[in-house]
Structure formats: C-alpha cells, structure tokens
Amino acid sequence: MRIEESFREIFGQEPEVVTRAPGRVNLIGEHTDYNQGFVLPAAIDRSVWYAGRRRADRKVRAYSIDFQDKIEFDLDQVQKDEQHPWSNYLRGISKFMQADSVKLPGVDLVIGGDVPREAGLSSSAAVEVGAAVFWEKILNRQPDPVSLVKLAQKAENEFVGVPSGIMDQFVSALGRKDHALFLDCRDLTYFHVPLSSDVKIVVCNSGVKRALAKSEYEVRVSQCQQAVERLRARGLAINSLRELEPAELEAAREALPGVLFKRARHVVTENHRVQCAVDALKQGNVERFGRLMTQSHESLRDDYEVSSRELDTLVELALKQWGVYGARMTGAGFGGCTVSLVSPRAAENFVRAIQQGYQKALGLQTEVYVCQASNGALVAT
C-alpha cells in the first residue's frame, strides 16, 4: 500500500494506524443542505489515506504526499497556518477534539490520496473525516458516528473558515458500497438507498477551478435567508425553505423579488426532486432518476445560476451519448465536476466521446473518473 510505504520512507518505522476516508459525489440535492433540506450523495472509490504512529511528546509531524510538504505543530498550541493551508483541516480536527476534553498524543503521520482537489468531490471532507477517524483509532476508541461528523464539519466551518453544510462529512463517514445515502440535513436522519448494479457513476472534471464558488456560495446562503425572512413577514410560519412545497412557494411569489424567488424555487423544487429520486431508486427506475438529475442541472443553471459554460457543455455532451440516463453539475458550482449515470456497457465509449467532444467544443481537456459507490470511513470494508 502506497501510504504505508511512504510512511516507512519518511519516518523509518512501520505505521501503527492506517485509515481512509472517501470523497463523495452528490447525485442530486444541490445547495439544499444549508437550507435544512434533503440530499442524496454517494461515497466514491477515491479516498484520502492516513498512516501514523504515536510519539512520546505532544508534537504532530505530518507529511502530505500530494503537496510534497511537511509541517509540525504542538498539540498544546494549535493555530491556523496560512503558509501550509492543507494542514489546517488536520489542525482543526486536533483542536476541537481536545476541546472536548480529549488528550491527544503526539504523532508522526503521512497523508495522501486520489480524491481530486477543487473538483467538487469533497477532498476537504475526506481529509477531515480521515483525521478524526485516525485520532479515534490512535486512542483505541469507537466513535459515535454523528458526533464525529459534526466535529469534522465544525473544523471546516470554524477553523478553516468555509461555511459548508454537513452532507460532505456525513457521507464520507457513513456511505455504503453500492448505495446512495439519503440525508435530512435538518435532523440528520438518514438511510441508505440501493443503487442499481446496471449503472456507473461517471464524474467529468471541467478542469476549471471554482474561483467564484466561495464568494458566490456565501451570496446564495444570504439570498435564501432573505427569502425566508420575506416569506415569514408575509405570514408564512417557516424557519427554512425546506418547509415549503412548490405550490406554496408559487402562491407566495409576489412576496419575493425576482432573484430571491428564483433562488427559493431552486431549493424548494430540488428538495422535491430528491424525494422523487429516492422513490425512483427504490423502484429500480433508473430512467426516472436520470431525468430528475437533468432537471436538477437545469434548475441550478437557470434559477440558482451556479453553473458555467464548461459545466453546461459537459452536461450537454453527456446527454447526447448512448447509455446515459441523466447528467448534472455537482458541488458548489462555477467549475468543478459533472456527474452522469451511465450504463456499464456504454462507459468506455462515454469517456472517449466526452473527452473528444469537450476538446472540440471548448479546446479544453477533461479528466473522467468512472466510479462506484463505496463504504465510508466508519463502515467496515
């Protein structure tokens, strides 16, 4: 295993603990999580790995294979590191675990993996969940899954400073092989939904870094909050957009300026699509599921306005191919990836056609990852 070999090369010993946490792709349910709505992601068979062992002192020495960079910090003084931002996920987990009266030992560790960065596949959540599971194994503890997920989200929100929802960490921890995971982001109830064996999850990377994603993400969060406030002022007893049905929103349309109505309409209809998508999977109706994915993309493009020319091009190319059930952008938007559900018999030709078509249409290259749903970090393999 590469991570163990790297640890031996760097630290000259055998690792005591090896853990992994997968990236994820969201099949449907985009920008609903911070609106207390529904999501349907799947963990994928690309992961971040940790290998490490205890030290006698309170120092953490960590090496990142991906960044080819080494850092050191003291567990008694965990501070953010602007020079080595990749380490802040590990630092945040360490800080907040100790805030819960847990005393962590010093460690030597190596981090590396094959989850593409800045592609909308939640490499950051994989790093956070992987770090939390690593510490739990070092301490020889069996963690409470939801508490661990909340800790990982807290590290991203409050230490790293990214206002993400909880979906990414949740599915990285609790995904299941050959299943999607339905999550209610309001009360964190969840269940696994079987994915048909007759589909491949194919992720196409636009190659465009999500330069606008953070700032525009914050704008969308604010716009959704404004929509709720205006609807409450009108007399609707709601605390979030998830409490509205599409018909109720339409009836209150005049209470919202045009942009706020479009943002709210995406969230409300997307929640409805997720529920329909779960029903479709339970019935084995992949065709219906695919249509819902495509409708989701249209809503993200037109109402939420978080797509891009590159993402739209990849979706359009995908929908022209034989054996494709549906396609949509996935992640925050403005770059990153699309996800398509593809027949296994069509997957090889699909990859070739997308790469050639993207190059021809935009003069750009795309990396295409043919994935399957995998177990999360807290699920035995």
DSSP-assigned beta bridge partners for residue 126: none
Phi, psi of 256 (to 5 degrees): -120, 130
Complete DSSP assignment for 234-271 = TT---SSGGG--HHHHHHTGGGS-HHHHHHHHHHHHHH
**Angle of CA points 189, 194, 200, to nearest 5°:** 125
Distance between CA 358 and CA 367 in Å, rounded? Answer: 10
Amino acid making up residue 95: K
Residues designated as active site: 168
* Contact call for residues 348 and 188 (beta carbons, < 8 A): no
Residue the block writes with tokens 């799947």: 42
Burial of 103 (0-12, 13-18, 19+ CB in 10 A): exposed
* Contact call for residues 22 and 377 (beta carbons, < 8 A): yes
Burial of 82 (0-12, 13-18, 19+ CB in 10 A): exposed
Length of the chain: 381
Neighbouring residues of 91: CB distance < 8 A, sequence distance ≥ 6: 73, 78, 79, 80, 81, 159
DSSP-assigned beta bridge partners for residue 107: 54, 60
CB atoms within 10 A of CB 323: 16
Q: Can you list the alpha helix ranges (DSSP code H) found in the chain?
A: 2-11, 88-99, 123-138, 145-154, 167-174, 213-233, 246-251, 258-282, 286-302, 309-319, 347-362
Structure tokens at 329: 């952008």
Neighbouring residues of 219: CB distance < 8 A, sequence distance ≥ 6: none
